[in-house]
Structure 1
Amino acid sequence: MNASAPLTRAQRDLGCTPAADPVGGHVVVLVHEGMYGAVSGSGFSNRTFLIALAGIVPHGRLVVVPVLLPTDHPGYDPGWAADMEGILQQAGARVLPIHGASLLTGPVDREALCYMAVRRAVPYLGTGSLLVGCDVPFLAVGSYAPEGTAVLLVPRSTALLSGSTSRETVEWERRGLAGAVHRGGRIAAISDHMREHLCEEFGLPDVAVVDMPNGLLTGEEFSGHRKAPPLPPAARAGFILAMGRAEASKGFEDLLHAVRLLADAAVAVPHLVLVAGSSAGVLNACQRRLKILVGSLGVDATLLTRFDPAVRGWLRDPSLHAVVVPSREEPFGRIPLEAFAAGAGPVVATTAGGLAQTVRDGETGYSASPHAPQELAVALRRALEAAPGERRRLARAGARLVARHHDYAVTIRTVVSQCAPWTLTTGDGGPR
């Protein structure tokens, strides 16, 4: 784009001045979760995204604008924050926090958050730069990006997928996505399911959507700052594990009913460790329902409602019998990849959304339809009764899937090369 083209009113209000050099610009990433901790898969994915970019973008040209979490926030993890600070510091990255933790819900607040974030990053934006908006809170940043800035939006879900009934929120997301595309921006699809959703539900042109399947980084996923916490005492003789955000779309109620069905059929089911976390300081409606259901069904389970990122380490515990992902809706589903990378399993998952891409029945795990406790019970029984050789075969297939299709460093380099290849060039014009 021509750096001398007129700026929009919003851009003038921000004091935008397009950069002069179209080659070797900054990569600016706006992120609401993943810098200081995580209470969802989005936070883990954002963390991996940032670490991948730190190894790809030339030294000193990565800029991260995170939403600052106060240290007493339930989602703040001091060890996590220190790890991220060290990784980004080594890459010569600039970290420019903004105070926007109260602006993560509702279109009006999110619009203000987008404005604040771009304003904070203005000195590093303009011709030759790439602006990345990670996830839903930053879908409107295309309206504020200075002329000449390449834009990439990475929605990890949408209001429609999460079951929101707010027309205002859906329309805000629609305007943000369409606005970015109108100015030449690209939208990342984290799965085939998300590509279809973005094109069909939001009317995005196919050429504007770039495939960026979610993934892992070798050696990073389980190199955390501390070991996994002790297992609940009842789980030490053997357990199955399910974890995720405490919301209805995760299907944890279906899992509890499936476990009850197996118990009624006299199937020996190991202790269930169910981590249904949230960033709130009190139980939310979903957690309250799960607590009641565990008791009313008489399921042998431990319900943990405060999410600790270190529980991912339980995927490597030798007492683990199966990993279950019972989602009713899932844009991608990161947990199966983590299980494959850890050698855990078998993995049991529904075919909801992106899960159908990774958990292939009889190939990498066992699957069932979403919203179907009876099918889920059958799939879980198959996993629990799988012979050792079968478990090893599934584990090897899962590891191959991650290596071949979900190496996040390779994926992100490919996407950045498509959207703004000049940002990967070094001072002498060569690639990083």
Structure 2
Amino acid sequence: MGRFVERKGYADLIRALKIVPGAECVVVGGPPGANIETDAFASSLRRLAESTKVADRVRLVGAVPAQEMPRWYRSADILAAAPWYEPFGLTPLEAMACGVPVVASSVGGLADTVVDGLTGDLVAPRDPRLLGMALRRVLGDPVRRFAYATAALDRARQCYSWKRAAEQLSAVYATVSGLRSPTGAVA
């Protein structure tokens, strides 16, 4: 799920499908209001899927309204996030908040939000073979997938709630301004 830009790693994900038999890759995203059938990036992904002989297992949905995203997340067995560069990575966090385990590139914010071996698996970026092996391992192990999903939901709730984000931001502001925190302690 996400914008249609090369650095998001969709091509690596399509290449990884060769070693994940039976898996379907559903890509939700792209430019809002664009026609997924005529989008140049979508066309390049379709050509890649055809050349790697996985076209029958790749579905490009296009952009969907934000209010529909939880339904798409919950329909997935795993969220695969394979960017080469990602400062924060909201998509894996949103999936985790929906109880979906994540297999992601170990880059940027993903290395913080996804706890390797607990909420999902982290792999080196730009390595379709490692990505495919991780996807196959998690898909093939329902107990692991359930454990990751449960831990992912817990982590999203514990570490990334709006309440916690507001508290942390307030603490930063208090520290840099020299003010006391609401509890009276010097921040």
Please state which band the TM-score falls in when normalised by the shorter chain.
0.7 to 0.9
Deviation at 1:279, TM superposition (A): 3.1
Cα distance change on mapping 1:307 and 1:277 into 2, 3 Å: farther
- Please give the alpha-carbon distance, in whole angstroms, between the structure 2 residues aligned to 1:417 and 1:348: 32
Q: Residue in 1 aligned with 2:185?
A: none
- Please give the alpha-carbon distance, in whole angstroms, between the structure 2 residues aligned to 1:301 and 1:278: 18
Deviation at 1:254, TM superposition (A): 0.3
Q: Residue type matched to 1:278 in 2?
A: P
Q: What aligned pairs does 1:283-362 form with structure 2 within 5 A after superposition? A: 283-299=38-54, 300-309=57-66, 310-317=68-75, 320-344=76-100, 346-362=101-117
Q: Residue in 1 aligned with 2:161?
A: 407
Cα distance change on mapping 1:352 and 1:256 into 2, 3 Å: same
Relative to the length of structure 2, the TM-score reads 0.80
Q: Residue type matched to 1:324 in 2?
A: A
Q: What aligned pairs does 1:37-56 form with structure 2 within 5 A after superposition? A: none
Cα distance change on mapping 1:291 and 1:399 into 2, 3 Å: same
Deviation at 1:384, TM superposition (A): 0.9
Q: Residue type matched to 1:391 in 2?
A: R
Q: 1:111-163 CA deviation, whole Å, 9 max, x = no partner? A: xxxxxxxxxxxxxxxxxxxxxxxxxxxxxxxxxxxxxxxxxxxxxxxxxxxxx
- Please give the alpha-carbon distance, in whole angstroms, between the structure 1 residues aligned to 2:77 and 2:63: 23
Q: What aligned pairs does 1:8-407 form with structure 2 within 5 A after superposition? A: 243-260=1-18, 262=19, 267-279=20-32, 281=34, 283-299=38-54, 300-309=57-66, 310-317=68-75, 320-344=76-100, 346-388=101-143, 390-407=144-161
Relative to the length of structure 1, the TM-score reads 0.37
For the Cα contact (< 8 Å) 2:139–2:145, is it kept in 1? no
- Please give the alpha-carbon distance, in whole angstroms, between the structure 2 residues aligned to 1:314 and 1:280: 18
Unaligned residue ranges in structure 2 (runs of 5+): 183-187
Over aligned residues, Cα RMSD in angstroms? 2.4
- Please give the alpha-carbon distance, in whole angstroms, between the structure 2 residues aligned to 1:247 and 1:253: 10
Q: 1:318-376 CA deviation, whole Å, 9 max, x = no partner? A: xx3221111111111112222222112x3111101111112222111012111111111
- Please give the alpha-carbon distance, in whole angstroms, between the structure 2 residues aligned to 1:316 and 1:255: 19
SS in 2 for 1:321: coil
Deviation at 1:412, TM superposition (A): 2.0
Q: 1:266-287 CA deviation, whole Å, 9 max, x = no partner? A: x533222112311363555422
Q: Residue type matched to 1:293 in 2?
A: L
For the Cα contact (< 8 Å) 1:347–1:383, is it kept in 2? no
- Please give the alpha-carbon distance, in whole angstroms, between the structure 2 residues aligned to 1:281 and 1:364: 33
- Please give the alpha-carbon distance, in whole angstroms, between the structure 2 residues aligned to 1:291 and 1:392: 31
Cα distance change on mapping 1:415 and 1:306 into 2, 3 Å: closer
Deviation at 1:295, TM superposition (A): 2.3
Q: Residue type matched to 1:250 in 2?
A: K
- Please give the alpha-carbon distance, in whole angstroms, between the structure 2 residues aligned to 1:335 and 1:306: 14
For the Cα contact (< 8 Å) 1:270–1:321, is it kept in 2? no
Q: Residue in 2 aligned with 1:419?
A: 173
For the Cα contact (< 8 Å) 2:70–2:98, is it kept in 1? no
Q: Residue type matched to 2:133 in 1?
A: V
Cα distance change on mapping 1:306 and 1:343 into 2, 3 Å: closer
- Please give the alpha-carbon distance, in whole angstroms, between the structure 1 residues aligned to 2:117 and 2:171: 36
- Please give the alpha-carbon distance, in whole angstroms, between the structure 2 residues aligned to 1:321 and 1:410: 28
Q: Residue type matched to 1:246 in 2?
A: F
Q: 1:383-411 CA deviation, whole Å, 9 max, x = no partner? A: 111133x2222122212322322122222
- Please give the alpha-carbon distance, in whole angstroms, between the structure 2 residues aligned to 1:399 and 1:339: 9
